[in-house]
Homo-oligomer: A and B are copies of this chain.
Amino acid sequence: MSGLYHVLGAKQFDRKELEELFASAKGMEQVAQGGGSNRFPNKIMSTLFFEASTRTRFSFESAMHRLGGRVIGTENASQFSSTIKGETLEDTIRIISGYSDLIVLRHTEIGAAKRAAAVSDVPVINAGDGSGEHPTQALLDLYTIQKEFGRIDGLHIAMIGDLTYGRTVHSLSYLLANYRDVHLSFISPDNVRIPTYVKKYLDENGISYQETIDLEGIAKTADVFYQTRIQKERFPSPEEYSKAEGKYIIDRKLLDTIKAEAMILHPLPRAGEIHPEVDADPRAAYFRQAQSGLYIRMALVEKCLTTMK
């Protein structure tokens, strides 16, 4: 429905909007730490998760509660009875949008959020659509970088791991295309390289990047190490997975080679690709990053609920 503010993909954000969002998130940090607000006492968020993601769901639901709102949710796709019975996503959304003021959608198919927004009477937030995008994760990633470095322009950002199926990397790359003099390094095994369409987008936006299989080669120069999990569940075969798995580990030894002011991020959960011995290092920013997810989502929820039809 036209006039609604949806969060569907990273490309919809320009620099001005990002800066406004980050300012709002900073304010939300105060609200949350002050015990929450009573901003939306009668608003209802539906969390429709066709693919389980407890962390992301909790983050959104907490954001809604911290703003005084209400939540109705389903934690698991396989239980979504209407879908089992053959209902289309469009029909589901038409109904659910009549019961709530905001829909947070996690789905297994690329483009699901966009299809949902096309028929919804209320705003839709994409909380991950298959191997497509995960824009709110990318927004919180970027917010963490901005917050800890005080800037994004001019940084060298290394993205590591599964760059084919890792949708947060795609979304983050699109967001970074709004900044000046950033340089991206894509470090991955050969069978899970960054997709051509992402590189094309970076080219069109004049963003400098390189692809490599060599983590050590960029260790000394990168400002941000964005580590990702090799997501077994998204690989076409166990063979392809085993080729990619376990190639890049961030451990104490690597820490000794990187910049003193570098930052290590990870969308989490991690399996073994960041050793726990790294946790105590001040450059390990991933738990602060997860916490920032709450503030970014509070800011997005507020924007969705106040940008008028």
A42 at the interface (CB under 8 A from B): yes
Which range contains the number of A residues in contact with the other chain? 35 or more
CB pair B76 A79 closer than 8 Å: yes
Residues of B within 8 A of A98 (CB): 287, 290-291, 294
CB pair A95 B62 closer than 8 Å: no
A243 at the interface (CB under 8 A from B): no
A30 at the interface (CB under 8 A from B): no
A35 at the interface (CB under 8 A from B): yes
CB pair B85 A271 closer than 8 Å: yes
Residues of B within 8 A of A214 (CB): none
Query: Of A53-61, A135-143, A218-226, which stretch is located at the interface?
Result: A53-61
Residues of B within 8 A of A294 (CB): 98-99
Q: Which of B71, B82, B271 contacts A86 (CB 8 A)?
A: B271
A contacts, CB < 8 Å to B:
35-38, 41-44, 46, 51-55, 58-59, 61-62, 65-66, 68, 70-72, 74-76, 79-82, 84-88, 91-92, 94-96, 98-100, 229, 231, 233, 268-272, 276, 287, 290-291, 294
Task: Please give me the 4 A-B residue pairs with the lowest Cβ-Cβ distance, nearest first.
Answer: A87-B269, A86-B271, A62-B99, A36-B42
**What are 6 A-B contacts defined by CB distance under 8 Å?**
A53-B81, A55-B81, A55-B95, A58-B100, A71-B72, A85-B229
